[in-house]
Amino acid sequence: MNKPTLFRRSVMLMVYVWRRIMDVRFNPLKYIPDAKLQAYFMLVLFSIWSVSFGFIASYHLGWLGYSTITSLVVHLSVLIPMMVTNAVFVDAERTGAQWLEEWKAEQSHYGLFMNRLKAQNLSRWNI
């Protein structure tokens, strides 16, 4: 059993983490019927949290030259590639892309293979 490449594991992890946190199917914004309002509130929440974490970091770490704008830019430089990656995966799931099915199967098979090797999952029967 070959281990999936670091790139594939990283991309799949990025998509799974994004969906657990930011997907409106799982967070309370799912009750807002309009997708545009959901996106607006997600953007507002992103800005609020980015600025508040910046203020907390500047206070506790004593950063005198802290810039809120820089904090927003840094957060966006991380989140925008994650959003694009998630969009690619959503489109691939919608169209039934073969490469995505292969990646998921490879990830799943490797996870099952590695769990099989763990000793704590095994129980010995003394018959």
Q: 12-37 pLDDT, tens per residue?
A: 888 888 777 777 787 788 888 888 88
Q: Residue ranges of the chain with pLDDT lower than 50? A: none
Rounded to the nearest 5°, which phi and psi values hold at 40? Answer: -60, -50
At 17 the pLDDT is 81
At 63 the pLDDT is 66
At 91 the pLDDT is 83
> Are 18 and 42 contacting, i.e. CB atoms less than 8 angstroms apart?
no
Q: How far apart are the C-alpha atoms of 89 and 97, rounded to whole Å?
A: 9
